[in-house]
Amino acid sequence: MPQVLEHIDAIARRMKRDVLYLDFVKAKRPHYADYRRLDSRVRITQWLDNEHISWCECGPFASETVMRSYAGEIYVDVPFDEADAQYRKVQAFLEHADGTMRFDDVKFYIVALERAMQNAHHDEPGFWDRWAENF
């Protein structure tokens, strides 16, 4: 049975906090590179595993008007808290001291719970089934 990916905003609502999200530019239009072969993604996931930092594949922010293919997006299971040592470690690996990314094809986002709550109606039982019937 295929794995169902959870949207990043649904993860934020489930966790009841802001969440960390990685997006891989070269796996999306117009590039469509195979995310499994992206050097940046391989290096990042290996580093997360080596550091014993939990992560999982996830879908992008859910939309009722757009369907997207999975493009390697990742949820990093570390709270967004600048006082948290694990967050600082992730941030230092992904970003230079000036805040620019170390990987030019990766975007590092904080998905705010407040923004994720705008899609709370997606959590109602049967929402996506009803949506698919009318797509």
Domain boundaries, the chain: 8-134
Residue 30 pLDDT class (50, 70, 90 cuts): confident
DSSP H helices, the chain, are: 8-15, 39-50, 85-94, 113-116, 127-134
pLDDT (tens digit per residue) in 101-133: 999 999 999 999 999 999 999 999 998 888 888
